[in-house]
Amino acid sequence: MWSLKFKMSLLLIILFSIIYAGIAIIGTIIGIANFYFYLVISLALMFFQYMIGPRIVEWQMRIKYIEGGEYLNLQRMVEELSQKAGIPKPKIGIAKLPIPNAFAFGRSLSDGRVCVTEGILQLLNEEELKAVLGHEITHLKNRDVLFITILSVIPLLLYHISWHLFWFGGGRRREQGGNIALVGAIAFLFYFITNLLVLYASRIREYFADKGAVYLGNKPSTLASALYKLVYASAQVDKESLKKVGALKAFFLNDPHQAVDEIQELSQIDIDKSGTIDPYELEALRRKKINLRFSDRLLEILTTHPNMLKRIKQLSQYQQLVS
């Protein structure tokens, strides 16, 4: 737990430093070199991201929060898991998306929200759904959702700055020489760096949330089966639907964009071809050494989620926690 908090806090410090450095460099280039100016702008950006992050997620994921007697079984599971985790019961939402998945977000524990898509309710059995919800509840308990909410907006902001300066800064480039082009290049560099930080943070939180789901009483094989089913179902989703949620895929339980490649590896774990991963198959994976290709390792650095084979391999190490 402390390892997670340390890594996520360190990422936030690095991110703030990058934002400050970027503003300082850009400010110096365009003739503004006041320390307090950089500090105020940096704090304002962070506060703005903190405030609007959940609204962006709600809008893009098309979330409708459930009320009263709706989805009683789902409400019961979330209430039980949040009590076990020792956190307030989060708001529960249904995302009107064609992709089977789940996610959690919010500014704080008291502002937590756990959402599932309509597709996942039809795809998973009750135990698998409970394991998925345990994963999402752990995100809230660890407060890493706050960090991701903040982090995810920053690369998007820097990308738009660089894009705007490159394509619409022509007049100012003639007035200020190459300064505007340089500012655009710096903004793009910081976009690339901060995006890698967001990706790394997202991968860390997935491993810890998987372990947290097990601590909340879910079997590793049950969560592994849920992940396997989600990957298989995501591989069937059309590209247009995937594009609509691409900007916020870091919030998802798995990355739907990687599903087509991942399903080939995961199908080898399903020895009896039942469409699930049972404890015996997970134990067989635990005893097996896996070697990822260099291309897979490189791809993982550039994605929001861990390589799924590595992730389920890590889940196999938690068998003793429930034995």
Residues forming the active site: 136
Gap between the terminal Cα atoms of the chain: 22
Tell which phi-psi region holds residue 279, choosing left (phi > 0), alpha (psi between -120 and 50) or beta: alpha
- Dist. CA 161–CA 52, nearest whole Å: 18
C-beta separation of 22 from 186 below 8 A: yes
| 91-95: strand order across its sheet | 63-65, 91-95, 113-117, 102-105
Alpha-carbon distance 203 to 196, whole Å? 11
Residues with Cβ within 8 Å of residue 198, at least 6 apart in sequence: 148, 151, 152, 154, 155, 250, 304
Q: Which amino acid is at 78?
A: V
The SS3 call for residue 118 is: helix
Residues 6+ apart with CB under 8 A from 149: 49, 50, 53, 54, 57, 105, 106, 107
Dig out the tokens for 9 from the structure.
Answer: 């806090």
What whole-number distance in Å separates Cα of residue 81 and Cα of residue 155?
33
| Residues 94 and 64: beta-carbon distance below 8 Å | yes
Residues 301, 284: contact at Cβ < 8 Å? Answer: no
Q: Which of 155, 154, 48, 194 is nearest to 107 (CA)?
A: 48
